Structure 1
Amino acid sequence: MEETISLQEIFQTLKKRLALIIIITFLATAAAGAISFFALTPIYQSSTQMLVSQQATGASSALEAAGFDTDAEYIETYNVIMKSPYILDQVVEELGTSQDASEMNEKINITREDESQVVTITVEDPNPSQAVDIANTTASVFEREIADLLRVDNVVVLAPAELDDSPVPVKPNPMLNMAIAFVVGLMTAVGLAFLLEFLDNTYRNEDDVEKELGLPVLGSIPLIENKNRKHAVTQKTPTRRSRHERGRERIGS
């Protein structure tokens, strides 16, 4: 026998478990906010832009001799060279940091701006000043070393990284994390509410009895409240006691 659920039953279930839904959603949102603000380490981002041009001195002939026929080919090669240990080891040495080339590699991301010859070096680090230094040092080391590697001089730094007066971390994003936690918490709470309702096998009305037994309900006995009866007994008791006391007073007199 196929069971169906009406829209009214859905609203009744949500209303019945409303407190549970609110508590779970609130706890999930609050936990995401607390973790984002107090537990996760803020990460700052800094970037340097460089122009890679074939029009620089000797670049066109040198690149053609090396087998680079298109801009994409030599720019992609430059991207690999920039993240190579040959470059990053020198960056670590100039910065005097305790990090090694592999750790530095994880912080650096190199992208090409659309189809242009502009390459952007993006660095993410918990220290905003350190992110700026890594980006600028990587660009300067690459600009210096590429002339010896490929015998070309076609790299120009367009926009060096700069430290803002009040740097803002790029991650974590507390508001985004709290919004995601709110949605996930709400969905989880609603799902839990319907699961509890499904596992609740108590009989709440005549329809539940009919579904369980497969028989029609002929009648029902309503629950009679005894508040008025108790109230009447309570009112009569003092009256009887008072008459009895009056009889004793008359006999005594």
Structure 2
Amino acid sequence: MLKPKQVKPIDIREILTIIKKRKWLIIIPVIIISVIAYVGTYFIPPKYQSSTIVWIDKPSNASSELERILGGNNRRETRDEQYNKRLALETELTSQAYMLRLIQDLNLDDDPLIAREAAKMRETNPDIPLEQIKFNLLVSKLKEQISVGFHGTDQIIITVESESPRKARDVAAHLTAILEDEKTKYEMQKILDNQRFNDQQLQKSEQYYQLAIDSLNAAKSRLSQLQLPENIASEENRLDIISTIDKLKLDNQDYQGEKSAIDVQLRNLGLDNIRLKYTDTIVELRTNIDGLISSYASLMEKYSWTDQNVINVNIRLNNNIKSLESMIEASIENQYASYPNAQKDLLKRSYIIKENIDIINSKQNKCEQTLKKIDDRINTVPILESEIAELENQVDDNRRYRDAFKSAETTVGILSERAKERTMYKVVEPAKLPLEPFWPNKRNILIIGFAMGLVLGGAFVLLFELLDDSFKRVEDLEEELGLPVIATIPKIDKFQLNR
């Protein structure tokens, strides 16, 4: 009875024996495929590659001071940003505007192959002009031949592929020249736009600067009008005026009480309807008293009551009040000479009290107005000082902006000269005439053919081994039959048999 088969471990020596046994199944495909691959390279149209490296200067359209004020962007570009920038530049280089200039300058539309292909396409699209079809074909082919990449952080490499080495070089060189020319025009336009913008901003900054200075001067002028000399304290004046007002209120109460008592007496005597006719001298003196009251209140705003100016006005005011009382008494003596002395004395006191009450009310009113001015000044000065500090900051900021835009004006002029000299895009390595094609790469193709031959040969070896059901080892036979092998007869080659 046959024994069940057991899983055998992989024997490296057995594998090597199989490879040695069937080596021609590997060697023949390797040789054939390698030869076919190598010979096939001579039937592939060669392609040449020419590249040019362009250094791109970082654009700067403002002075360093203005960039610092506005917040310049100094961060490094990310990988995604560089990729997007490369795509944008490649799209720009292969745009219709660039391709049109390239085709016209190099006469690329004279290619007979393109003309024949365009003629065939026009047969199916008769409504489209032949020149348009040729242009579209050329643009499509050129886009496939042109590629853009970064060479470092501030350099780009423009690569052109073509079946003609001279055409590859000419297209790369001319495309770089077009890029330089178009970018220079763009930079010039951008600089001119920045120049106009800078002029407008400079004019505005000058206006804002002058406006801030005018506002600052006006605020300082208002502050100087509110501020007192250093030796005068507003709070001290305020307390003196409050004290004066309180005293006037007390005097007014006393006079009002006395007036009420006298009015009762005059009413009992039937003298309450008597009116005193004021002389011109009394009226003039009363006007002088009002003027002295105004002067007194005005002086109290700036000086204390112990100041000599205040004392002098107060003395004159008191003297005029006494003179007014004397004139009133004299007028009553003249106008009511026939009245008893007691009644005349009562009338004199009544009119003197009335004038004193009127003077006190006027003086109190003026002092209260002065007190309000002082309070307003005390409350306004800190606000005005804060406003002045803010205006000074505004003046400094506007001055910095103005100076920055003035500096930017010089910078824009320098950038304009640089753009004219084409320094923004400088060719670091010009396009060269390629001496050897980059495709087909015979070495790589031969290596690929060799590898494919190995794979195919290995597949043949594996297939033949799977189809071969002969016993390879004595152990396999013993395992299959379950009987021991007594002897083996070695294989005799024909060469050994002939001997």
Q: What's the TM-score, normalizing by structure 2?
A: 0.38
Structure 1: runs of 5 or more not aligned: 226-253
Contact 2:25 2:461 in 1 (8 A): yes
Q: Secondary structure at 2:147's aligned position in 1?
A: strand
Distance 1:120 1:204, change over 3 A: closer
Aligned length: 212
**1:90 paired residue number:** 101
Distance in 1, Cα, partners of 2:90 & 2:74: 16
Kindly state the Cα deviation for residue 160 of structure 1 after the two structures are TM-superposed. 2.3
Contact 2:89 2:148 in 1 (8 A): no
Kindly state the Cα deviation for residue 199 of structure 1 after the two structures are TM-superposed. 2.0
Contact 2:92 2:98 in 1 (8 A): yes
Kindly state the Cα deviation for residue 220 of structure 1 after the two structures are TM-superposed. 5.5
Kindly state the Cα deviation for residue 33 of structure 1 after the two structures are TM-superposed. 0.6
Work out the percentage of aligned pairs sharing the same amino acid: 26
Q: Secondary structure at 2:60's aligned position in 1?
A: helix
Contact 1:110 1:121 in 2 (8 A): yes
Kindly state the Cα deviation for residue 86 of structure 1 after the two structures are TM-superposed. 2.4
Distance in 2, Cα, partners of 1:108 & 1:196: 50
Q: Secondary structure at 1:171's aligned position in 2?
A: coil
**1:201 paired residue number:** 469
For 1:171-250, what aligned pairs fall within 5 Å after superposition? 171-213=439-481, 215-219=482-486
Contact 1:107 1:124 in 2 (8 A): yes
Kindly state the Cα deviation for residue 127 of structure 1 after the two structures are TM-superposed. 0.5
Q: Secondary structure at 2:7's aligned position in 1?
A: coil
Distance in 2, Cα, partners of 1:199 & 1:180: 29
Distance in 2, Cα, partners of 1:187 & 1:179: 12
**2:43 paired residue number:** 39
Does residue 92 of structure 2 align to residue 81 of structure 1? yes
Structure 2: runs of 5 or more not aligned: 1-5, 110-136, 191-418, 493-499
4+ runs deviating over 4 angstroms:
67-75, 220-223
Kindly state the Cα deviation for residue 18 of structure 1 after the two structures are TM-superposed. 1.2
Contact 2:53 2:151 in 1 (8 A): no
Does residue 379 of structure 2 align to residue 111 of structure 1? no
Contact 2:46 2:163 in 1 (8 A): yes
Contact 1:50 1:118 in 2 (8 A): yes
Does residue 49 of structure 2 align to residue 60 of structure 1? no
**1:14 paired residue number:** 19
Kindly state the Cα deviation for residue 30 of structure 1 after the two structures are TM-superposed. 0.7
Kindly state the Cα deviation for residue 39 of structure 1 after the two structures are TM-superposed. 1.8
Normalized per residue, the structure richer in helix is: 2
Distance in 2, Cα, partners of 1:158 & 1:138: 15
Distance in 2, Cα, partners of 1:123 & 1:200: 55
Distance in 1, Cα, partners of 2:467 & 2:480: 14
Kindly state the Cα deviation for residue 69 of structure 1 after the two structures are TM-superposed. 7.4
Q: Secondary structure at 2:35's aligned position in 1?
A: helix
1:132 equivalent among 169, 175, 179:
169
**1:242 paired residue number:** none
Q: What's the TM-score, normalizing by structure 1?
A: 0.72
Amino acid at match of 1:140: A
Distance 1:211 1:89, change over 3 A: farther
Kindly state the Cα deviation for residue 5 of structure 1 after the two structures are TM-superposed. 3.6
Distance in 1, Cα, partners of 2:19 & 2:488: 29
Distance in 1, Cα, partners of 2:432 & 2:473: 71
Q: Secondary structure at 2:428's aligned position in 1?
A: strand
Does residue 426 of structure 2 align to residue 156 of structure 1? yes
Measured against aligned partners, the alpha-carbon deviations of 1:4-45 in whole angstroms (never above 9, x if no partner) come to: 342222122111111221111111211111112x12121111
Kindly state the Cα deviation for residue 96 of structure 1 after the two structures are TM-superposed. 1.6
**Which entry has the higher C-alpha Rg, 1 or 2?**
2
The range that moved more, 124-133 or 96-105, is: 96-105
Measured against aligned partners, the alpha-carbon deviations of 1:69-123 in whole angstroms (never above 9, x if no partner) come to: 77856964434312323212321222221352121011111111122x2221111
Q: Secondary structure at 1:61's aligned position in 2?
A: coil
Does residue 28 of structure 2 align to residue 23 of structure 1? yes
Amino acid at match of 1:195: L
The range that moved more, 131-140 or 203-212, is: 203-212
Distance in 2, Cα, partners of 1:5 & 1:212: 19
1:122 equivalent among 142, 155, 159:
159
Kindly state the Cα deviation for residue 204 of structure 1 after the two structures are TM-superposed. 4.5
Distance 1:68 1:16, change over 3 A: same
Q: Secondary structure at 1:100's aligned position in 2?
A: helix
Contact 2:474 2:485 in 1 (8 A): no
Q: Secondary structure at 1:188's aligned position in 2?
A: helix
Amino acid at match of 1:61: N
Measured against aligned partners, the alpha-carbon deviations of 1:121-176 in whole angstroms (never above 9, x if no partner) come to: 11111100000111011111121222344535322233321325xx1111211122
Contact 1:89 1:100 in 2 (8 A): no
RMSD: 3.0
Distance 1:80 1:69, change over 3 A: farther
Distance in 2, Cα, partners of 1:218 & 1:102: 76
Distance in 2, Cα, partners of 1:141 & 1:218: 87
Distance in 2, Cα, partners of 1:156 & 1:129: 22
Per chain length, whose mean CA-contact separation is higher, i.e. which structure has more relative contact order (CA < 8 Å, sep 6+)? 2
Contact 1:50 1:120 in 2 (8 A): yes
Measured against aligned partners, the alpha-carbon deviations of 1:189-247 in whole angstroms (never above 9, x if no partner) come to: 1342133112211235533333444x233545859x9xxxxxxxxxxxxxxxxxxxxxx
Distance in 1, Cα, partners of 2:94 & 2:440: 25
